Structure 1
Amino acid sequence: MASQWPLTLPYYPPDEMSPDNAPEPWIAIEPVARNPGDDGLVTSSRFLNLSSDFEFAGWGSFARLKLTTEDHTIGEERLQNLRRARLLGQFTGTALPGNAVLGSVFYALPAVVAVSGVYSPISLFVATLTPFLWRPIMEELASALPISGAPYSYMYGFICRIMHTLMRRRLNASRKSLALLGAALLLLDFASTSVVSAATATSYLGGEVVLPFPEFVGAALVLLVFALVSLTGLKESARIAFVVLSFHIATMVALGLAGSVHWAQSGNAQLRRNWTEGQAPTGAAIARQLFNGFCLGMLGLTGIECSPSYIGRMKPGRFPSVLRNLHLPAIILNTLMLTLVLATVPLETVLAGANVLSVLAETAAGSWLRTWIVVDAAVVLCGGVLTGILSACELFAQLAHDRIVPQAFLKLLPLSGAPYISVFTFTVINAVLYASAGANLAIVSKMFSLVWLTVMSLFPLALLLLRFNRGRLPRERNTPLWIIALTLALTPVVFAGNIVIDPSTGGYFAVYLIGVLAVFTATQNKVGLLRAVYWAYDQYPALHRFGASRAWGAAMVRMMARLKRQPVCILVKTDEINHLLHMLLYVRENEETSCVKIVHFSDAETGIPSELEANAKILDEAFPEITIDLIVVQGAFAPAHVVALAHRLQIPPALMFMSCPGPCFAHPIAEFGTRIISL
């Protein structure tokens, strides 16, 4: 039952030096009786035709809440659904990103040979060793925060906090704005994965047979078909991806055996000829070719960054095995295939841009194996399209929970449970990306290279900031600091190397990133944009005299009010006012809301902190632009109770904020679904 704030507050003791100093409240807080416009309590409105009351959110209240049986039932049901959603095992979890990682052999090998020549096996081998640096980092992050949408979800909690602290307000940068940068990079990465895979599959097929349509039409058809496949749901899509990956592995084993047998029979004559023709004249030229090959060779690992996107869908403890299953075959496959190519195929044929693996297949075993390789290339690269789509769907779901994109992105098909709005939107994004590049695979690939490297740099940065800002968060492993530093230093070196190889990649990267980031920024700052538009409208008094324009202005005011009344929840354990203040400041700086509910779970043992009610009242007076309600919930702080409360208050768990739990915390943090915003 809600009640107004009580007026009993602590008193200062009488001053012995001033006997006239009678006991008075040490701070006057009477929000019910006070007019918010008096004494400058609320900042004056910047709008000519709106009073200062528009900026006042209203006074808060205090309520004791007991969750009903229905709330508990729904909370437990949703928690069980969350646990049942973790349906991906070691191999199905490997299959989704595996098609992108292992399928990249079809477009990575020609690119590496083009810049590294006969030294390309060395460059590619060294490049495929680099995930030994990233794997422990990604595993530690996943054990600390096993929720889908990574690394965006990591950035939301770790990266943006320290960046905001460093920049303060001088650059007007917020934590959420920097998290949106990560979301924009991820969306570009997933879209590039799909578009490059679809276009490469069509190009590979077009290099072998005469297609009845242009290659860009074939790429569009591939994107459309696999968008429809993704509507079967994650479980069925993972099974399809597993079948595709199994077929690809079987094909590569057959090609490896055939190539090895042919090499053994024909000897090293072709390898020596290629080595002689392709040797660089100086040591500096050799080093340059090795470095360039290393920079492009890392693109043979594209797809590995997608694996954390659906950590929340994997069974507990499977993620390290998934990374191992992706990494070790990539080392063997890329290095072996490139060595076999140089041992059996003339260097000029490889440099001419031929489908090198199909040429290797025909040289080693004849046209039947070449046909098999072409079919495999088309199939596994199409599987890479599925990787991008499913990863993007998980990202959209997380963005919808954070109210960055509309809640419609959470709508599911009744039978398969597929997020059809997300699939449709991502398909449109793919079409726009491909069309804006003039259906030019080279342009998308150049942009993809830098996007992928930037995304990979987010993982060591996130872990470094996890250690600094959320060091108490329970996790299963502890990566040495030197590995984090080395990985963080390696990424800009490779990034710069790719730009040196082709400076146009930097331009494509910047243009696409700015475009996507602008859209995300607009969706995140809806109230700010509406205020700017209304301010411009308000500067022309004549517009207030016409019925149509006046109705438009009133609609903007109603929309601003509606958006700001969307509540968020702060889950607190303590009554320390500095702690409450820091959490409230986070909300004010990062959420477009004027309605905050401070929630404390109280059981018979702990009770209610003595100063919680008084401190909440102080904050309610200090922030008149925010309505601060205090709710004391009867019960223990547990995942089922938090989910039940989310149902009762109609607030998504993603908009419930809490402090960082310690290593002895009794519950898995992922089951809460809340955001960690303080130490």
Structure 2
Amino acid sequence: MEKIPEPAEGEWIAIEPPNTTDAPRTCYDYSPAEASTAPPPTFTQSQFDVILRRQRMRPKEGGGLKFTAVPSRFLNLSNDFEFAGWGSFSRVNLTLEDLSHGTETLQEVRNHAVLGQFTASALAGNDILGGVFYTLPAIAAVSSVYSPISLFIATLTLFLWRPIMEELGSALPISGAPYTYLLNVSSKALALVGAALLLLDFASTAVISAATASSYLAGEVSLPFPAYVGTIIVFVIFTAISLSGLKESSRIAFGVLALHVVTMMVLIVASVIAWAQLGTSQLRENWVAGQAPSLSAAVHEVFNGVCIGMLGLTGFECAPAYIAKIRPGRYPSVLRNLHLPAIVLNVTMMLLVLALIPLETILHGDNILSILAQKAAGRWLRTWIAVEAIIVLCAGVLTGILSACELLEQLAHDRVLPQVFLRKIPSTRAPHLIILSFVAFSAVIYSSTGAQLSVISKMFSVVWLAVMTLFPLSLVLLRFSRPRLPRSCQTSMSVVFASVVVALAVIGGNIAIDPTIAGYFAVYFIAIMLVFSVSHNKTQVLRWLYWSYDQYPLLHKWRLTRRWGEQLIKLMTRLRRQPVCILVKGDEINHLFKMILYVCQNEDTSCLKIVHFHDQMTDIPSELEANAKILDESFPEITIDLMLVDGTFEPLTVAALAHHLEIPRSLMFMSCPGPHFPHTTADFGTRIISL
């Protein structure tokens, strides 16, 4: 055998296909009679014969149906719907209409980033500062006279979360966090866990706000119906307001927050004056009556108070949800504006309550701040506090509904929920199905807990802590999976791990205080995850139904049931024909394979487009077309089209391409940009799915 010489350094060896004119015949050229005596083909001949045979089966313009030798799981029915057609190769020139639409899309995004630090703080500030109305009674019940200490410790824990949230916000300045954070740094399944916790958080916010508003009203006037009926009335009113198309305005939120701050300042000043006149006698009496018998008991009460005191910080997790609307560089100031006033307001109010109100009244009173206002300045201030409490709490109900609308609309755009959720009332443009579904879910939570505000409050603490745990988790995944993303700040890993430890410890403490809240939390969370999982894997569920239908041959003989099978096939085919696309720069087949594998594991589609932007023909990677064809053959369940777009890869051309292909930008995937990339991820609006 002739020895092939070793190539010199830097020299390539070209293996040419066999000469078809004078090369020996291959195994496909022999008749069955000659095949037994024919010599075996050479390695080169066999490899090229197989490749050419497969390529001859591929239609030049794409389409057809890709078949495999894998046996069907269906014994009596066809499984053709599980296989897609061959992909195609095309060149795309974006039209002026596409570019114009892309410009409008980017301009609309930029116009939304108009919130300064104070107006942005007001959106979440009404929740976090309004929590004082329902936090104080809950924490006094478990921490007694140690409540100010517990609240102070609880509010200090946010110093752990602020740098974490700032780093996440600088790396991924996109709204919808923590769902969108997890979507860009991990799998879609984990992101849906974040979405489920967020939805439960919004529902708890709406329920507690409505129930507390009804409780405050019932404490001031004699209602002709029970307090739970008042909660239902509040929900009905704000459901109607939401259906009317009212959108949350930052100016309205700022006005409500300004009213709340002024009211609290008046109450603090009046209470301090009353404390100076009364002296410390009431505070000493409360200390004696509520003092723990031992140091260990006191520490235990303080810890329980810290666990419940987290309820007073709810709303802090909402700031990242609208970070894309905040002006660049203002986000850290927003977090500071939410945090520091929460420390002052919660601790000061709890101390003034203990200084002026008997402990027995605190433990059994519903409207503690109204009682404090009565004690400090009389009936006029009590009425003012009650009216202001109802306004702020009702704003919390509306915030919960509108926040849930934004989350569920995003899930519908990401094809987790059916597209029917995007339908809106023509006259008001309100997503009626989303609003009614969320209010119904909130009503289930309220009724299943027996309309007990204390149970819902404790569960709310666990839900909030679970949501807050997602931020350090997202940061760890970001550093591991997307380390090249540029960011303006970096948090110590010790701070990240400390926040996780604190969150887990406080969650355990809340469950230890009342183990039933773990059951409530688990039931609601599992129910939401079940709905999301079934809705996201619609085709898989339909495939199981089709398989069950296949197991009964008798059903295939009846005309009505046979039509069911046909409808199942049409529905599965229609759902899987919804396209997605990946934006690629190079032609490395291992990188392309990983991106396609991500699509297979996270998106329910059989239509994938590989898109490459180029300024000149020489910019096109040499192996991109060949590798796309190989991958198209490797995934028989997906049609993989290759599209070469004439243009520079930038936010404008990506938005124009989204209009051209009629694919949402959230379903256009790209690799992680490097530190010298001139644009941010928020500019593109796409999803990052690889390193």
CA distance in 2, matches of 1:102, 1:568: 42
1:12 match: 15
Amino acid at match of 1:89: G
Identity percentage of aligned residues: 60
CA distance in 2, matches of 1:206, 1:222: 13
**Residue pair 1:306, 1:387 contacting (<8 A) in 2 also:** no
2:34 match: none
Alignment of 1:458-607 (within 5 A): 458-604=470-616, 607=619
- State the 1:565 CA deviation: 1.1
CA distance in 1, matches of 2:375, 2:545: 66
2:221 match: 209
Matched, 1:45 2:48: no
Of the three residues 52, 57, 67, the one matched with 1:34 is 57
Q: 1:307 to 1:230 in 2, by over 3 A?
A: farther
**Residue pair 2:67, 2:83 contacting (<8 A) in 1 also:** no
Of the three residues 302, 305, 310, the one matched with 1:293 is 305
2:469 match: 457
Of the three residues 114, 120, 125, the one matched with 2:152 is 125
In structure 1, stretches of 5+ residues that fail to align are 1-9, 162-174
CA distance in 2, matches of 1:72, 1:39: 35
Matched, 1:387 2:390: no
Count of aligned pairs: 653
Q: 1:236 to 1:507 in 2, by over 3 A?
A: closer
Q: Deviations over 1:252-289 (max 9, x none)?
A: 00000000111112211111111122111111111101
Q: 1:194 to 1:22 in 2, by over 3 A?
A: closer
CA distance in 1, matches of 2:437, 2:431: 10
CA distance in 2, matches of 1:39, 1:654: 29
CA distance in 2, matches of 1:235, 1:314: 17
State the SS of the aligned residue for 1:628: strand
State the SS of the aligned residue for 2:57: coil
1:302 match: 314
**Residue pair 1:656, 1:674 contacting (<8 A) in 2 also:** yes
- State the 1:644 CA deviation: 0.7
Amino acid at match of 1:256: I
State the SS of the aligned residue for 2:249: helix
Amino acid at match of 1:252: M
- Name which one, 1 or 2, has greater alpha-carbon Rg: 2
2:28 match: none
Of the three residues 439, 446, 449, the one matched with 1:434 is 446
Of the three residues 46, 68, 71, the one matched with 2:95 is 68
- State the 1:235 CA deviation: 6.0
Q: 1:243 to 1:655 in 2, by over 3 A?
A: same
- State the 1:414 CA deviation: 6.8
2:22 match: none
**Residue pair 2:150, 2:303 contacting (<8 A) in 1 also:** yes
- State the 1:568 CA deviation: 0.8
1:156 match: 183
Of the three residues 325, 350, 365, the one matched with 2:377 is 365
CA distance in 2, matches of 1:11, 1:443: 74
Amino acid at match of 2:162: R
- State the 1:386 CA deviation: 2.0
> Which deviates the most, 577-586 or 446-455?
446-455
State the SS of the aligned residue for 2:114: coil
TM-score by length of 1: 0.92
> Which deviates the most, 667-676 or 627-636?
667-676
**Residue pair 2:182, 2:194 contacting (<8 A) in 1 also:** yes
CA RMSD of aligned residues (A): 2.4
State the SS of the aligned residue for 1:677: strand
Matched, 1:185 2:197: yes
CA distance in 2, matches of 1:204, 1:78: 45
1:311 match: 323
State the SS of the aligned residue for 1:33: helix
2:360 match: 348
Matched, 1:658 2:673: no
CA distance in 1, matches of 2:427, 2:79: 51
Q: Deviations over 1:554-600 (max 9, x none)?
A: 10110011111111101000100000000010011111111110000
CA distance in 2, matches of 1:606, 1:630: 17
Q: 1:63 to 1:25 in 2, by over 3 A?
A: farther
Q: 1:412 to 1:324 in 2, by over 3 A?
A: farther
CA distance in 1, matches of 2:401, 2:65: 55
CA distance in 1, matches of 2:466, 2:678: 36
Matched, 1:275 2:287: yes
Q: 1:624 to 1:307 in 2, by over 3 A?
A: same
CA distance in 2, matches of 1:415, 1:136: 43
**Residue pair 1:29, 1:618 contacting (<8 A) in 2 also:** no
- State the 1:514 CA deviation: 0.9
> Which deviates the most, 109-118 or 205-214?
205-214
Amino acid at match of 2:403: S
Q: Deviations over 1:426-458 (max 9, x none)?
A: 223222322333433333223222111111100
CA distance in 2, matches of 1:418, 1:252: 34
1:56 match: 83
**Residue pair 2:66, 2:86 contacting (<8 A) in 1 also:** no
CA distance in 2, matches of 1:31, 1:401: 38
**Residue pair 2:308, 2:458 contacting (<8 A) in 1 also:** no
**Residue pair 1:123, 1:290 contacting (<8 A) in 2 also:** yes
> Which deviates the most, 147-156 or 412-421?
412-421
State the SS of the aligned residue for 2:643: strand
